[in-house]
Structure 1
Amino acid sequence: MAAFRSAFDAGEMRTEFEKAGIKSTFIPFIWKQLLHDSNNLLNQNMASEFQWEKAVPSLPSATYSLLRSKFKPLTSTVNTVVDSSDQTTTKLLIKLQSGAFVEAVIMRYDSRLGKYGDKPRPGGLRSTLCISSQVGCKMGCRFCATGTMGYKSNLTSGEIVEQLVHASRLFQIRNVVFMGMGEPLNNYSALVEAVRVMIGSPFLLSPKRITISTVGIIHAISKLHGDLPGLNLAVSLHAPAQDIRCQIMPAARAFPLQKLMDALQEYQQKSQQKIFIEYIMLDGVNDEEQHAHQLGKLLETFLVVVNLIPFNPIGSSSQFKTSSDEKVSAFQQVLRGTYNIRTTIRKQMGQDISGACGQLVVSQTNRISGKQTTVLPDIEDLHL
């Protein structure tokens, strides 16, 4: 028997509705009804047959037989929920219909605190959801736990959206970052379709609160603004020179640094938006003063925010070491002082629950298989 598709898989829903002569305008209404009673959705989804008529009333009668035969309200289930000790981070281990696992991380911030001393700021609590786009990843970055898994499969657009559905049962999600497992731009069509669902009814997320992170898939960057205008782009640069990039990010060989910068220049000209640059600090590899100057010269014509990421090795097998606080601060001062580039240092969240995307699912997989494996932390949980 063929696997059911997710009801949040917009492309499949439209195709099947059109073939059956049913108006696709009913689809957002179906999503709204499913989300309206999410606890009932979860409970019914576990049953052998979901009661579509009860969950989504007032549809044309032909719609129900189609939904029963082709779709499930959710094709994934939450296997594990783990909260950090400081209650700022919640990690969801999600089991797909295929039996594979992916993870999503919810990070909570009080935007009134922390940046301006004791002076209160307007705002309040907000939650950011870090989403996975693939099972595993084929980029093979040497500092990333997901990279140790290798590539397994792409997620469907429905499986991507379902991570938001699961997270929304726990917290109101304000921001979404595609910085979990996988390279989002290597699953381009599903990514675009999922984001379009998220910014449409009934989710209505603002495009400016969605960020897509990439190691630099040049051909996809070139068409991203046309397909998804108004979103934030984050680039995992991690080195100011091609040889260093190739050393720590083997996939960079396919994306020469100068060609990547040309693509980013074109993207910025079209979008007129700042680009976020992610830069993991690896002791003796890319954190010296000369590297800061190289990075500054590389980026000085761009409107960017550079986010310096302290490396957090897990276990003794890591081939990299953490840069000292002094080195990180000195690096930041070069970028700020000499090149006037806005530069932040990432706050680490959820370390006690392997809060960096890529850790929980790897440890879960190893536990299931009986293997005792030390993994490296993935750093793709950018706080924007």
Structure 2
Amino acid sequence: MSYGSIFDGGILRTEFEKAGINTHFIHTIWKFAIENPNCEWNEIPSLPSAAYPLLRSKFKPLTSTLHSAIQSNDNVTTKLLVKLQNGSFVEAVIMRYDTRLGKYCGKPRPGGPRSTLCISSQVGCKMGCKFCATGTMGFKSNLSSGEIVEQLVHASRLSNIRNVVFMGMGEPLNNYASLVEAVRIMTGLPFQLSPKRITVSTVGIVHAINKLHSDLPGLNLAVSLHAPVQDVRCQIMPAARAFPLEKLMGALHAYQKNSQQKIFIEYIMLDKVNDEEQHAHQLGKLLETFQVVVNLIPFNWIGTLSQFNTSSEEKVSSFQKILRGTYNIRTTVRKQMGQDIMGACGQLVVNQTDKRSVENTSRMTDIEDFGL
């Protein structure tokens, strides 16, 4: 028998209401399960008597297990391999930062150590981006809201998670209902993450972007743009054919008008594909009416079948200077973390026929730094 995750909040709430149990106790259950990972339901004190048989018959504290946690040589990146109840695997990545080691505007940054969790929303992905290893898996299944939240539960036992980025396996806006419920759980008791510290990355699912702000106000939106013109975008991102650049930019204009927030633009640097000076000028003109932060991402190796090469540091620097100097667009270059464990941007993949990908999976400058 398969059990539901107690972090599938909507299902748990419905079951409690049907049984006449006050849903106020849900937060108590979540808090206890987080603090006591191997708990039995009868160990939770002070629940209504009807809650115990209901929980035993239909739910588990966690439906997933932490299969492995692999530490990178950089000592700040940990890749988690999470096994779901149905036997599938997803990956998540913990990235640790210390703001005291950097400066902003010539002054020391405030704060101290913090951790960001890169989280998955699907098993595989149907977008098929040619520079992303996850796309080689194809689409397997959506994660439930509980399976999404459980990644945070597993990670929280290893590090104090302050930020969450939906930049792992899958297209979050293609699993919209589970995404919305998971974020609402993360921002409520007992997690209490600030919406400003949660970022959802999308290739540009226009109809979902159009309703995202009303459903999840205050959230950060990151858009995987990766090319400034439609034909190049279609070459490297097949899904772009369904979401033309003109419609995407229209949706982003409306989103920014409603949210009054910066939009983060992700741009992978592919040698001789999208990294020439003309592309920088095209991107600058495309974005000059927006309030954005552009994050240039060095391409990470994703296997011998890859048709791309990484842009040189000189090209990345020149690209950045054009966006900054000519168009006054704040532009950062993503700090790579965890490449040795295949945990970097675009490298997350689970292929159970390939032991290396199960036991091995880099990511980014902390998203929190972009808004400073």
The normalised TM-score by structure 1 is 0.91
Distance change >3 Å, CA 223–CA 382, structure 1 → 2 = farther
The equivalent of 2:354 in structure 1 is 367
Give deviations 1:166-204, integer Å, cap 9, x for gaps.
000001000000000000000000000000000000000
Q: Is residue 2:16 matched to residue 1:29?
A: no
Distance 1:86 1:120 in 2: 23
Number of matched pairs: 364
1:193 maps to which of 181, 184, 187: 181
- Counterpart in 2 of 1:207? 195
Contact 1:211 1:232 in 2 (8 A): yes
Deviation sequence 1:73-112 (CA, Å, 0-9, x none): 0000011110011211000000000100001100000011
2:64 paired residue among 71, 76, 93: 76
1:35: Cα distance to partner?
A: 1.8
Does the CA contact (< 8 Å) of 1:136 and 1:147 recur in 2?
yes
Partner of 2:238: 250
Q: 1:357, CA displacement in angstroms?
A: 5.6
Q: Which amino acid aligns with 2:142?
A: N
1:340-351 equivalence runs, <5 A? 340-351=328-339
Report deviation, 1:316.
3.7
Which deviates the most, 110-119 or 214-223?
110-119
Q: Judging changes above 3 Å, is the alpha-carbon distance between structure 1 residues 117 and 83 closer, same or farther for their aligned structure 2 residues? A: farther
8 Å contact 1:179–1:381 — kept in the other structure? no
Aligned residue in 1 for 2:126:
138
Identify the residue that residue 41 of structure 2 maps to in structure 1: 52
Matched, 1:383 2:371: no
Question: CA contact under 8 A between 1:126 and 1:174: conserved in structure 2?
Answer: yes
- Runs of 4+ in structure 1 over 6 Å off: none
Report what 2:262 is aligned to: 274
Judged with a 3 Å threshold, the aligned counterparts in structure 2 of structure 1 residues 34 and 196 are, in CA distance, closer, same or farther, namely same
Deviation per CA, 1:199-228: give whole Å up to 9, x if none. 000000000000000000000000000000
TM-score, with length taken from structure 2:
0.94
In structure 2, stretches of 5+ residues that fail to align are 368-372
Counterpart CA distance in 1 for 2:151 and 2:282 is 38
**Which of these residues, 94, 115, 119, is aligned with residue 127 of structure 1?**
115
Q: Is the 8 Å Cα contact of residues 228 and 282 (structure 2) preserved in structure 1? A: yes
| Cα distance between partner residues in 1 of 2:230 and 2:121 | 26
Residue 53 of structure 1, CA deviation: 1.4
Deviation at 1:32, TM superposition (A): 1.1
1:47 equivalent in structure 2: none
Q: Any residues of structure 2 matched to 1:1-384 within 5 Å, and which?
A: 1=1, 3-37=2-36, 41=37, 43-44=38-39, 51-54=40-43, 56-115=44-103, 120-356=108-344, 359=347, 361-362=349-350, 365-367=352-354, 383-384=366-367
Q: Which moved more, 1:176-185 or 1:315-324?
A: 315-324
Does structure 2 retain, via aligned residues, the 8 Å contact 1:289–1:331? yes
Aligned-partner SS, 1:222: helix
Moved more, 127-136 or 19-28: 19-28
Question: Does the aligned pair in 1 maintain the 2:199–2:222 contact within 8 Å?
Answer: yes
Distance 1:13 1:382 in 2: 36
Name which of structure 1's ranges 260-269 and 109-118 shifts more when overlaid on structure 2. Answer: 109-118
Is the CA contact 2:123–2:143 (under 8 Å) kept in the aligned structure 1?
A: yes
Tell me the amino acid that sits aligned with residue 11 of structure 2.
E
Query: How far is the alpha carbon of 1:119 from its aligned partner?
Result: 5.7
- More divergent stretch after superposition (318-327 vs 148-157): 318-327
- Give the Cα separation in 2 of the matches to 1:235 and 1:361: 21
Query: Quick one: structure 1 residues 116 and 271, their matched pair in 2 at CA, closer, same or farther if it must change by over 3 Å?
Result: closer
Cα distance, 1:161–1:315 mapped onto 2, change above 3 Å: closer
Q: What letter corresponds to residue 229 of structure 2 in structure 1?
A: A
Aligned residues: CA RMSD: 1.7
The AA in structure 2 aligned to 1:7 is I
Structure 2 distance, partners of 1:66, 1:381, is 43
Task: Flag the 1:382–1:182 CA change in 2: closer, same or farther, 3 A.
Answer: farther
